[in-house]
Amino acid sequence: MTEGDSRPGQQWVPTAEGEHLRGRRARNTRPEILLRKAVHRLGLRFRLQRQVAPRCTADFVLPRHHVALFVDGCFWHDCPDHGPKRFQGPNASLWRDKINANKARDRRNTEQATAAGWTVVRIWECEVRRDAMGAAQKVAKSADGGTTTPRRPSATPARQPGSADRPDAPSGGGSTRSADSQSRPAPRPGTGRLL
C-alpha cells in the first residue's frame, strides 16, 4: 500500500518519513547482494526471484538443493532486535497494519513453499550486515541437509575448443586459458548466473 491509498475510514497522510520509505527497493537490496556474493564464494549456485509456490517468490533459490531464501528487511518484517517498537504520527495504525500484513504473508509463504517441497531459509538483513559469510554458511548448512546428491564429474574429458576442428592446432587447443576454465563458463560477477 502506498501513501494516498485509502482504507475504510483511514487514509494515508503524506509525511517526510513516508516519502523516505517510499523509494526503498523491493529487489536486489544491499543485504541480498551481499548474501548472494557470500553464497557464491562458498561454491553454491542460485537463481534469482524464482516462484516457489503460488504467489510466493523467493529472493533467490538453490535449485540443486531445493532451498528457497528470503532476506527479510528489519523494518518491513519486524525484526525482534531492530523492528519498529511503536508507531507515531497520523499513519501509526496504518503502518502497524502494513507490517502485520507483511508478517502474515511471510508465514503463509513459508508454509506454502514448505508444502511445495522447498527448504525455506529466512535471514534478517541485520544478520547479513553483521556477518555476510556467517549468514552464507547458514545457507550452506541448510543446503547440505538437502536430499539432492552432488553432480558427478563427467567420465569424458572436456573437449578443447578448436583442437578437433583443425589438424594443425597445437596440443591443448592453442588457448592460453586453463583446461578447467574452458570446461565451464565463468559466472557473471555478483549474480551467480552463467554468462
pLDDT digits (tens, 9 = 90+) for 147-159: 433 333 334 444 4
pLDDT, one tens digit per residue, over 132-143 is 999 999 999 999
Q: Are 77 and 102 in contact (CB under 8 A)?
A: yes
Of the candidate CATH numbers 3.30.450.20, 1.10.3720.10, 3.40.960.10, 3.90.550.50, the domain formed by 30-143 belongs to 3.40.960.10
Q: Are 158 and 180 in contact (CB under 8 A)?
A: no
Strands (E), 22-174: 47-53, 56-62, 67-72, 119-124
> Cβ atoms within 10 A of the Cβ of 21, count?
14
Q: Is 186 helix (H, G, I), strand (E, B) or coil?
A: coil
Q: Say if residue 179's pLDDT is above 70.
A: no
User: Is the full-model pTM beyond 0.75?
Assistant: no
What is the residue extent of each domain of the chain? Answer: 30-143
DSSP-derived letter for residue 50 is E
